[in-house]
């Protein structure tokens, strides 16, 4: 039988917003402004707006960043713009991980942003400059399913950068 990963919740406990295309990005950046912890997982990462926001947050005492990208994409030539950005985040105190999916050919393909263990963005958009021109669909969640997304994001971490 299929594995159920999201708990059944009452509608009053769950808040869901759907974003088409790039509208989610500004809302996510606004939600991050006063965050104390951000967890991200993405196939690739090189978005300049997220970079600026995360570097600002890393300059605040007590802020924590855990960012996981796909190991194979990181080690290949397809994501050359992300390496300097990830190294900059690491130098500023961020925790950067290289992850992968299951099996010998598994890729980390999830795209998730978790803010203070309360708000989750997930969907098809990578945290890249290029994703701004793609057709994307993202959701903003609040409520009990956030815990499940946090667990999934932690499972893909493999090794620190």
Instruction: Output the pLDDT for position 105.
Output: 79
**What is the pLDDT at residue 123?**
93
Q: What is the pLDDT of residue 112?
A: 95
Q: What is the pTM of this model?
A: 0.87
Which token pair is 147? 């815990």
Smallest CA-to-CA distance from 36 within 154, 143, 119 is with: 119
Residue with tokens 């990830």: 86
Strand runs labelled E in the chain:
15-20, 37-42, 64-70, 95-99, 112-115, 119-123, 137-142, 157-160
Distance (Å, whole) CA 72 – CA 148 = 25
pLDDT at 11: 57
The alpha carbon torsion through 87, 93, 94, 95 (nearest 10 deg) reads: 100
Location of structure tokens 């390496």:
83
* Average pLDDT by stretches of 10, the chain with 161 residues: 50 80 90 96 94 97 95 81 94 94 82 96 92 89 87 76 68
Kindly report the backbone phi and psi dihedral angles of residue 6, in degrees, each rounded to the nearest multiple of 5, phi listed first: -110, 130
- What Cα–Cα distance (Å) separates residue 137 from each residue in 17, 92, 127? 11, 31, 13
Q: Left if phi > 0, otherwise alpha if psi is -120 to 50, otherwise beta: which for 62?
A: left
């Amino acid at each position: 039988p299929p594995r159920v990963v999201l708990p059944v919740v009452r509608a009053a406990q769950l808040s869901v917003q759907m974003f088409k295309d790039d509208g989610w990005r500004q809302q996510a950046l606004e939600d991050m402004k006063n965050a104390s912890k951000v967890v991200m997982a993405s196939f690739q990462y090189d978005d300049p707006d997220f970079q600026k926001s995360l570097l600002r947050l890393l300059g605040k005492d007590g802020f924590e960043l855990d960012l996981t990208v796909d190991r194979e994409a990181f080690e290949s030539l397809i994501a050359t713009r992300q390496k300097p950005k990830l190294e900059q985040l690491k130098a500023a105190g961020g925790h950067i991980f290289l992850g992968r999916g299951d099996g010998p050919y598994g890729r980390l393909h999830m795209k998730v942003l978790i803010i203070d263990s309360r708000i989750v963005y997930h969907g098809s958009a990578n945290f890249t400059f290029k994703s701004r021109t793609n057709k994307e669909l993202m959701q903003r969640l609040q409520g009990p399913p956030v815990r499940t997304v946090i667990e999934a994001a932690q499972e893909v971490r493999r090794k620190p950068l």
